[in-house]
Structure 1
């Protein structure tokens, strides 16, 4: 139950990705029926919009991200994984050439530098890792890097991209939780012809993890695929709809080849009760079902979370209930952020088999006392799950089985303190301090560690042109 989600000023997960890395491979894209069907339904305007031009519409942004993570694993005798690194992420996006069909190019380059991460303290997942002959983690390399590009075509309000992609949606979202982001190699299609409605779809076969330079086949975060089998690709299609102010919804479907079909629905509405007073109910729902060769075994999982947030002035209080119905954990794409559940926390996702969990969160914006840019949030989550119902012969999730895990419990406390400089030479520089403490019962120990975790993240965005 380790990894996730979102940029450093959003939720962050943690996990050591013990995964094999492969050398970069360029894969021939195959347009599956799911992808073709989505493309066929995308509406087109009668006339193309005026393109900005390849050069005129281009921009280059560089993000500097300094990242320190200290994970104290109490079950290993207060063993600390401490790593500190400096990352640089450069993104170039061109405009589109003139004409009915416009052509463009997106490119990126990433560099990670080790500032600290010696033998015995490495392995927090900020930096690449390797194992010594005795099985212990060795020192991380002094640097690692990656570069990629995607060509893009625009016709009317539809954009096709092929190559290395930054993806963010409920069924395939790249991890932004470490020093460098995760990317995917594939093809995507988006359409924005109708105001308030975005349609998208695509296929991805490989992913570059956030602490690696090379690519590996796309897979699952928690499930163990057979040594001699991999999923070939993930197909997805979906729609995000915001018909009126305050209301948003989305509907997505995805197929991880020979592993699962996954469906997602969310509904969210912010109701303004009075000036400065709002009520925000919301629902996130996933259904996951095995498909094809069922490389991870039998899966029939329904997972949902409900939240209710009350905002009064600069104060927000949120209550969450989350439920996993099934004898497997709720699973998602390899160490990504495609876990759009309200109780996915800094350390645990509270996504175990049959798990019920609750969360209470308080957030405050110090703009209310004349300190704009300073925010804080504290939360407490608690979960109960039944590991005794997991199939011990399962092809992919047998490691979750515990004979005495019928009453497994765990909890997590999280606290964030963030400041974004509002003016002067440091304008837009952000500093984020994060702390999490996670504890589990004896029946839960095989799933997650008891940890205290600290993070310091300093970011500075620069627009070159």
Structure 2
């Protein structure tokens, strides 16, 4: 497999805008060993999904994951060199034939296409070399990425990683610039790497995109105001652009208001392997915080005859209505959400928080091109002008504040989803709950 990296004109043009300071930051000479750290993250994950549609198997999986990260400091000098190394191990605690398939564990597919027995264990390891000079850091290898256009999925037992190169710059206060290119990904429930693909648009192996380029700016130069702008190119599939704006206005010491916007524009490019794409998706939120209470109202809209698509298994869905089960991102979908959150510090229980939300969406599937290479076969429905679905979610989390278990967290999640009968595009009828126990441990 050829893993050579090739940089497109979009990537080169965007990375060329990243500035370099005239003088090196002497504080970076912390030492390869002196500035190093070793952390282990243990995550115990249980997921039980009760499928209510006839013919669909229930999913029940339980696993224990371990992620170890060693991050070195930098060697002294104008250009510092370093190394990041990580290892992952996933162990099956439960997940027999017929109940697997929730995506926590890798499974063997039976001859009839039905989910088989989950693997007893899976593991992977990776490394990235890094250079730092003039407030600019370059990494090449296996990367943990988190931004609106390429974010590794972290919603299961182990995280997703990407193989490529990234560049970040922090020369200016309140401004972060980044760019990069990735050609392969390690999904969160697999050991090996594969080409980067999209969540909805399935393509054969010989028709996959070769790489994804991205560049972006994150700004926080004004108190209580943040904004970011990103561009990405998934070669021969799409160009995707993202913008957000978030502001918090403090009325007084007790009350604050928080309006915000997330916006994506996605358009096909190159060979257009997934066909014609012209999609504008946005979400608007408004939150009122009063003491330990917050109430949020959301409106989200997909303007386009394809769904809002994103990197497979990734978390690059920076939309307010991306929920536990559904992202409410179907073609021509409008959705609303009401969310209430409470911090039990107000009751003298610091570390205990809760969230309750209800979301409802309506899709128009009649305008989808039935001949679309990537989306038509599944999403087109000549009678789906008012396909609807809703989701109800409850989170309850406690983070230990002190003692031997300090920073250990226990998260309980419940979700119920219902869709219009006869429209599989709205998602299955399902009830699920998850129990997630996280224990981060700093070795040094």
2:20 is equivalent to residue 44 of structure 1: yes
Other-structure match for 1:408: 387
* Equivalent residues of 2:388, 2:426 under 8 A apart: no
Other-structure match for 1:111: 89
Distance 1:78 1:332, change over 3 A: closer
Question: Structure 2-normalised TM-score?
Answer: 0.98
Partners of 2:366 and 2:204 lie apart in 1 by: 23
Query: Which among 65, 83, 87 is matched to residue 65 of structure 2?
Result: 87
2:404 is equivalent to residue 425 of structure 1: yes
- Give the gaps of 5 or more residues in structure 1: 1-24
2:157 is equivalent to residue 179 of structure 1: yes
Matches within 5 A, 1:49-68: 49-50=25-26, 51-68=29-46
Displacement of 1:447 in angstroms is 4.4
Partners of 1:164 and 1:291 lie apart in 2 by: 27
Other-structure match for 1:320: 298
Partners of 2:113 and 2:197 lie apart in 1 by: 25
Instruction: Please give the per-residue CA displacement for 1:203-227, whole angstroms capped at 9, x wherever unaligned.
Output: 0010010000001100111112245
Matches within 5 A, 1:163-312: 163-226=141-204, 228-312=206-290
Other-structure match for 1:21: none
SS in 2 for 1:389: coil
Partners of 1:226 and 1:86 lie apart in 2 by: 32
Instruction: Please give the per-residue CA displacement for 1:3-51, whole angstroms capped at 9, x wherever unaligned.
Output: xxxxxxxxxxxxxxxxxxxxxx561112322332233222222221122
Instruction: Please give the per-residue CA displacement for 1:271-306, whole angstroms capped at 9, x wherever unaligned.
Output: 001112100000000000000000000000000000
Instruction: Please give the per-residue CA displacement for 1:84-114, whole angstroms capped at 9, x wherever unaligned.
Output: 0000001111011111111000111000000
Displacement of 1:445 in angstroms is 2.3
SS in 1 for 2:353: strand
* Equivalent residues of 1:407, 1:443 under 8 A apart: no
SS in 2 for 1:175: coil
Partners of 1:285 and 1:446 lie apart in 2 by: 23
Other-structure match for 1:340: 318
SS in 2 for 1:203: strand
Displacement of 1:78 in angstroms is 7.2
* Equivalent residues of 1:226, 1:295 under 8 A apart: no
* Equivalent residues of 1:286, 1:303 under 8 A apart: yes
* Equivalent residues of 2:420, 2:426 under 8 A apart: no
* Equivalent residues of 1:404, 1:443 under 8 A apart: no
Displacement of 1:255 in angstroms is 0.4
Instruction: Please give the per-residue CA displacement for 1:170-224, whole angstroms capped at 9, x wherever unaligned.
Output: 0000000000000000000000000000000000010010000001100111112
Partners of 1:404 and 1:110 lie apart in 2 by: 46
Question: Structure 1-normalised TM-score?
Answer: 0.93
Displacement of 1:245 in angstroms is 1.4
Query: Which among 377, 387, 390 is matched to residue 368 of structure 2?
Result: 390
Moved more, 49-58 or 129-138: 129-138
Query: Which among 452, 455, 462 is matched to residue 431 of structure 2?
Result: 452
Other-structure match for 2:3: 27
Instruction: Please give the per-residue CA displacement for 1:290-348, whole angstroms capped at 9, x wherever unaligned.
Output: 00000000000000000000000000000000000000000011120001000000000
Aligned length: 441
Other-structure match for 1:155: 133
Partners of 1:118 and 1:442 lie apart in 2 by: 30
The root-mean-square deviation of aligned C-alpha atoms, in Å, is 1.1
2:114 is equivalent to residue 136 of structure 1: yes
Displacement of 1:165 in angstroms is 0.2
SS in 2 for 1:151: strand
Partners of 2:437 and 2:384 lie apart in 1 by: 40
Higher relative contact order (CA 8 A, sep 6+): 1
Partners of 1:333 and 1:457 lie apart in 2 by: 24
* Equivalent residues of 1:408, 1:443 under 8 A apart: no
Partners of 1:360 and 1:40 lie apart in 2 by: 42
